[in-house]
A and B are shown apart, each in its own frame.
Chain A
């Protein structure tokens, strides 16, 4: 048995039976990181010393019987979630030396549950990108084939789990940034309902779309992680005061009789949909039908406008959120200038990478006098229509199935000069962010080149439970989640 290959629930059993200690488990993770990190590039910061202290403490709690589902379990954290005392860079030069003075609410929760922070994970700068090529430090490589992208923006979060460098991680999803890399790396990734998980301490990209969520090796672990991070937080006024169910209760392998699966007709003939993805996802739908679910055709009539609406709203919010990086309160400052305005401009131009600057300009333009109505207001109206599309769809189904990404992972460098093509590949994921509904990616097969393909399950607001139930039944009926990348 290799300790780094364990899931959270497998490690839990061994820890509780005292067959292993958290120190051994955590050391096993760092040994694995030592072996393969150079090839994958998933970590920006490895926090081994602190992690070993946390593990020692966890072992004492285990002996004392003070155990949660996560006591003594090492986790990787996307590098835009503030970790007190551990550098948090957003994969940007502008925050290269930023050490948060406080913990994000999700970190407070994980720390209180006895989880261990193994390190901070690589990503597209400020979560802007779908390939992880926009990290200011280094690209992440897909563990299934190192020439390929892992997806993004939570590429390090997905690749670290797929490469067994941590049993689970946290990512963030603004337009697909958890689900798409999960799909490309063959792991389970959940974007919760907007407001389910506190965003306090998550460095903001687009505040009305961002959500933190888990990436794990199987569905059981994703339910365990959802239990740990969900819930209302007075420090995030958009978090929703609503009870959190025990998501592990949804993991009943009792078939799917009575469940209605919606298949959006607009998704079927989407231009650019790879035949391998279409076939693999089609087979997954058949498997779910065989488990007793009934499929119904649904319509999401404004699908064709989702990408356009998103690429107005997200950059507009980003341009406003990123105004705080001005070289005064934290982060990099260009010290060559004695004039305030020039200091701002040089700091930001040297500190932000090209994709971030592109989106700031796009967003500022969309919000500027004379263009606001044509762009931001119109996009927000279309967002309302997309939300009502989903509201109508969920009147006739419990969950919606679709591909996550139109193609399997592509080669590093293949698309990075063409921002629009990259944006268009978010077509199946970003509607869930616009509508605020939960969505997840679940391994459902492989391309002819051996790259993982994910199935997307979307649920109604706050109905992660049904989503997890469908995912768990599918997982128990298949063995895609057992396959591991060889490195």
Chain B
């Protein structure tokens, strides 16, 4: 197999996804097939080719550093699943 179940589990961890046994099996098979297909890229000789990062060549877009519109705090928090005293609430991080 192109990608093992252990690798799927490791990558899922990096991507912050919880996977049960059934999902790992299914994904390992499907992603394995896709990666096998992607391996056709090996046939292309691109040794000296500069990798493309964007479709249109653009240099950095700078602007003046001036105060502009901003979203007020209450509005910014309006979609938060949990908030308190003008802050986002997350589960305890430091034990």
Contacts and interface: CB of A to CB of B under 8 A. Distances in A.
A338 B76 CA distance: 24
Interface string A408-444: 0000000000011001000000000111110000000
Given A237-B60, A361-B11, A378-B46, 14 more contacts: A194-B54, A194-B55, A195-B56, A208-B55, A305-B43, A311-B38, A328-B81, A335-B81, A344-B16, A348-B16, A381-B49, A381-B51, A385-B44, A436-B56
B1 interface: no
Contact of B55 (A99, A312, A387): A387
A382 B81 CA distance: 42
Q: Which A-B residue pairs are the 9 nearest by beta carbons?
A: A436-B55, A380-B51, A330-B79, A333-B81, A381-B46, A345-B18, A237-B61, A349-B18, A194-B55
Residues of B in contact with A, size category: 35 or more
Given A327-B81, A329-B88, A368-B14, A377 B71 contact: no
- Secondary structure type dominating chain B contacts: loop
Contact of A382 (B14, B44, B55): B44
A99 B40 CA distance: 43
B56 A319 contact: no
B71 A419 contact: no
Contacts of A319: 15
B75 A338 contact: no
Interface in A327-372: 327-333, 335, 337-346, 348-349, 352, 354, 357-358, 360-362, 364-365, 368
A383 interface: yes
Interface string B7-50: 11001101111110001000100110111011111111010011
Determine chain A's interface SS by DSSP, over half rule: helix
B38 A375 contact: yes
A302 B80 CA distance: 46
Interface residues of A, number: 75
A305 B17 contact: no
A379 B17 contact: no
